[in-house]
Chains A and B, each alone.
Chain A
Amino acid sequence: MNIFRFLGDMSHILSFVILLLKITQGKSAAGISLRTQELYMIVFCSRYLDLFWNFSSLYNSFLKVVFIACSSAIVYIIRFKSPQKDTWNPELDNFPIQYLIGPCAVAGLLINQDWTPFEMIWAFSIYLEAVAILPQLFLLQKQGEVENLTSHYVAALGAYRGLYLMNWVYRYFTEDDYLQRIVWFAGTVQTGLYIDFFYHYYQSKRGGLSRPVKLP
């Protein structure tokens, strides 16, 4: 464990806290893409299948359960719970996620670590996580303006993988036999998708004014 990975995990947890607060306290999922939340649920449920046989640390196993539980709860609330379910707009949040899941599944089959079924599933979850934010970014693009809490949610989510990139650089230089090109490539793509958002987020938050984040 290093400070970058720890901060990355904290940023990821923060993104869950912000989103859960927003949809439970704010009683509204307006501006949140259910499609993206469904993709994250698939990502965590597939990646953490090894919860039952890979025990790395209590920290690791605990967060795996937390991430599966939170992502599932978020999908449940937005999909089934009133009044949140009435604030979800299927016309706006209509990104064809099958065009994300399909190619990621093929990529997971073709490019993975050890050609075992679980490694294929693991690689699938890594590729899917890299593109899972797309429906959310498309929704924000359509709306033009981003609600304050939602902007912090997306920023925390982008920061988490950005911090993981730093963690991988740190591990590359401090561990002599460490090479993880699959997750490095996917993590770079994932963080890259946020660059545009980060630019507008920074512009809107600069100088302490909390002007709304505007996406062109």
Chain B
Amino acid sequence: RHDRRPHDEL
């Protein structure tokens, strides 16, 4: 796993 920011959260 590596940090990533899903852009689907408010």
Q: Which residues of A contact B (CB under 8 A)?
A: 1, 5, 9, 12, 50, 54, 56-57, 60, 63-64, 67, 113-114, 119, 122, 164, 167, 176-183
Contacts and interface: CB of A to CB of B under 8 A. Distances in A.
Interface in B1-10: 1-10
Contacts, number: 42
- The interface residues of chain B, by DSSP majority, are classed as loop
A113 B1 CA distance: 14
Interface of B: 1-10
Interface pairs A-B: 8 shortest CB-CB = A179-B1, A56-B8, A113-B5, A54-B7, A179-B3, A56-B7, A63-B10, A177-B1
Nearest to A126: B5
A178 B1 contact: yes
| Binding site secondary structure of chain A | helix
B2 to A, nearest CB: 6
A167 B10 CA distance: 12
A119 B3 CA distance: 13
Contact of B4 (A57, A63, A113): A113
A132 B6 CA distance: 23
B7 to A, nearest CB: 5
Contacts of B2: 177, 179
